[in-house]
Amino acid sequence: MNGNYDKIIDKISQKSELSKEEIERQIEAKQAKLSGLISKEGAAQIIAAEQGISFDNEKLKIDELLPGMRKINVIGKVINLSPVRTFVRNDKEGKVVNITIADDTSNIKAVLWDTNHIELIEKNEITNGKVIEIMNASMRDNEIHLGSFSELKLSNEVLENIKTEKIVKEKKIADFKLSDNSSVRAFIVQTHAPRFFNVCPNCKKKVNQEGVDFICLEHGKVVQEKRALLNLVLDDGSETIRSVVFHDFLPSIGITELENQEMLTQQKENLLGREMIFSGNVRMNKFFNNQEFIIDGVKDVNIDELVEKLESK
């Protein structure tokens, strides 16, 4: 079941006198009334509003943050700072910076758009390891966004046992949302021909070809490395999703021959119908204007582990 949905149910139950079973019944009734045109999560949000329950202005743990929340307050330790980037929009120059914060429940990316907030980073007042408090921010997909009405300041709170590792949540494909770090047990139902590209041997970023030379924006003229990616379609019974496996992860799905066309064709055919557990990040493919799954981990299905998990429920 969708993790966000479960969290909303828990909060409604905590803040009202309703049992989880009664909340579930009300949600099903709300969906039936709206002819199934609303998701369970959306119906739960409506039930919360009808109960006079608002999640605004609460100080929340990172794991409690839900897509669509507004006026959120959260405290976290900075574990990663990206460089400040400048951009031009409507002939005006702006700045943006991404930071990752963590607490003892999870970690999350926060996006800073306001120059006053970004100035705190440029002046090294906010650095890696500092604990910060974010107020009046909003959630877009699975990211915190701070605008001009948001507040950002250093906090004296001590955070211990923070979760710095990537948090991967098991989900159905139908429940995938942008920026999710998710894992799913699914079948490979379609494979495409690999696509090749050249990267810099130093920074691994894509290089531009100028005549016979290959130019890296950071390292100049380089001897390129040839890399590949493979597009797959995964199906877990709830939905399908276009997926991408980059060069370093191709051997984990059984693609070891890229130059020998006959062997490559055979290895691709062997993938069809294979069930595996895939982990990765959900992002928007701007060309196709739909979600795609960037795979960064693959493992075989372990029947003993699945049985043990089912028995523990």
Alpha-carbon distance of 64 to 58, in angstroms, equals: 10
Does the pLDDT of residue 56 top 70, yes or no?
no
Does the pLDDT of residue 311 top 70, yes or no?
no
Structure confidence by residue, pLDDT tens digits, 224-250: 999 999 999 999 999 999 999 999 999
Does the pLDDT of residue 307 top 70, yes or no?
no
Band the pLDDT of 279: cuts 50, 70, 90.
Answer: very high
For the question of whether the overall pTM of this predicted structure is more than 0.85, the answer is no
3-state helix/strand/coil string of 35-57: CCCCCHHHHHHHHHHHCCCCCCC
Residues of the chain with pLDDT > 90, as a percent, come to 54
Does the pLDDT of residue 201 top 60, yes or no?
yes
Q: What is the pLDDT of residue 312?
A: 65
Mean pLDDT of the residues in the chain: 88
Does the pLDDT of residue 86 top 80, yes or no?
yes
Which amino acid type is present at position 147?
Answer: G
Q: What is the pLDDT of residue 313?
A: 57
CB 104 within 8 A of CB 160: yes
Domains of the chain by range and CATH?
Answer: 1-37 (no CATH), 57-164 (2.40.50.140), 169-198+227-312 (2.40.50.140)
Q: What is the pLDDT of residue 36?
A: 66
Structure confidence by residue, pLDDT tens digits, 161-190: 999 888 788 899 998 887 788 999 999 999
CB 232 within 8 A of CB 270: no
Alpha-carbon distance of 233 to 242, in angstroms, equals: 5
Given phi > 0 = left and psi -120 to 50 = alpha, else beta, which region is 218? alpha
Q: What is the pLDDT of residue 142?
A: 80
Q: What is the pLDDT of residue 6?
A: 77
Taking the CA of residue 171 as centre, how many other CA atoms within 13 Å lie in the half-sphere pointing to its CB?
A: 25
Band the pLDDT of 87: cuts 50, 70, 90.
Answer: confident
Closest CA to 61 of 153, 212, 162, 148: 162
Please give the residue that has the higher pLDDT: either 222 or 17.
222
Q: What is the pLDDT of residue 1?
A: 40
Structure confidence by residue, pLDDT tens digits, 125-168: 999 999 999 999 998 878 899 999 999 999 999 999 999 888 78
